[in-house]
A and B are shown apart, each in its own frame.
Chain A
């Protein structure tokens, strides 16, 4: 039998300090990727879900979680990846959205990605808040973003696609 010295909320708080490797301004909890922590006699199990199926950051995040738990002497620990329910930008907290905007990334505007998100004409520029923006490229530097430009302040910016 194993006794873990921390409670579930404490472990969640601890893991919530891990940044998203690709957008370090938000953490994995705010992104909605950290789904749960299960403390049992078998040890500590962290439930994680990927944003996109090919998300290359998953390996890094798993390493970060295990390293952090080891440092806090939480053992045995393991990370389980689940796909169901499928990750959606709806799970992103308001706090995370605000952090993205301040970082220069326009947060997802639609409440759900299933309909109508391909003709997003209402993306606000994260720099000047103008609605006079247009899409430059549907795909961006990472799977979760597309490229926009603002015709008011003339700045290019990234938009976190609703998904």
Chain B
């Protein structure tokens, strides 16, 4: 694998994470429990669409075949998607959405904080913009996790169920593969073990404040980085890619 291929894979991985999160957040449009949350979730989705566009655009440049961010978003099938599985899980309820987003946005806050120092100037500049947004998403969803966990018996029960269901998907965020190892050695990608420690500390503190408990089970799902997904990604792409599949190259 050349460095250029590794960098392409890395951008696709980060870009797909942003894109699929954006899709799930957008589903809350007009469905959130209160109007303010409708605004919040769609604003967060917008930030992530922007980030996905930047990363996929850069990946397209690296691929060198004149690929655009739209080509990469709309013309790849699920085995070619490299997002972590947690991002594609459907939201069972609002608590599930908040716990999931808190887990992922906290990860992204620490990841992009580190990537600001990437030796690849494009990654560094995308990170410098993304970290400010991820910090805001992290703060917002942390507030909600604490409010729900430390709320009524019902909200605590739902938040705890979400933590239990989502926890087995969190370790995948910190997986390292050949791509990551090569880029980390060159200072392009971030040191994931370090980020894992910071993430774990933050999550532990939040769980304590929210009267929630992390499950003790050790089993963890994996596969996203190899293109092996849950059944949900296919359904997402079916809807997201419909127009470009039915009317290739349609513009408006």
Contacts and interface: CB of A to CB of B under 8 A. Distances in A.
Query: Majority SS of interface residues in chain A?
Result: loop
Given A83-B54, A113-B132, A118 B139 contact: yes
B222 interface: no
Given A85-B128, A147-B36, A138 B47 contact: no
B40 A53 contact: no
B130 A138 contact: no
Given A84-B124, A137-B36, A54 B47 contact: yes
Contacts of B44: 139
A2 B125 CA distance: 32
Interface in A72-114: 82-87, 113-114
Given A118-B139, A139-B39, A147-B36, A55 B50 contact: yes
Interface in B28-81: 36, 39-40, 43-44, 46-51, 53-54
A19 interface: no
A23 interface: no
Query: Majority SS of interface residues in chain B?
Result: helix
Contact of A84 (B40, B121, B132, B140): B121
Interface string A119-152: 0000000000000000011111101000100000
A56 interface: yes
Contact of A52 (B40, B50, B140): B50
A52 B128 contact: no
A54 B121 contact: no
Nearest to A115: B135
A163 interface: yes
Contacts of A50: 50, 129
A85 B126 CA distance: 10
Contacts of A55: 50
Interface residues of B, number: 25
Given A52-B47, A54-B50, A83 B128 contact: yes
Given A143-B43, A143-B46, A53 B130 contact: yes
Interface residues of A, number: 25
B40 A139 contact: yes
B191 interface: no
A124 to B, nearest CB: 21
B132 A86 contact: yes
A59 to B, nearest CB: 12
A147 B49 CA distance: 23
A53 B136 CA distance: 13
B172 interface: no
Given A53-B50, A54-B47, A141-B39, A84 B139 contact: no
A54 B132 contact: no
A54 B46 contact: yes
B133 interface: yes
Contacts of B49: 54
Interface in B110-133: 121, 124-126, 128-130, 132-133
Given A52-B46, A54-B47, A83-B128, A136 B133 contact: no
B139 A52 contact: no
A87 B47 CA distance: 14
Nearest to A88: B132
Interface of B: 36, 39-40, 43-44, 46-51, 53-54, 121, 124-126, 128-130, 132-133, 136, 139-140
7 contacts: A54-B49, A54-B50, A83-B129, A86-B129, A86-B132, A87-B129, A147-B36
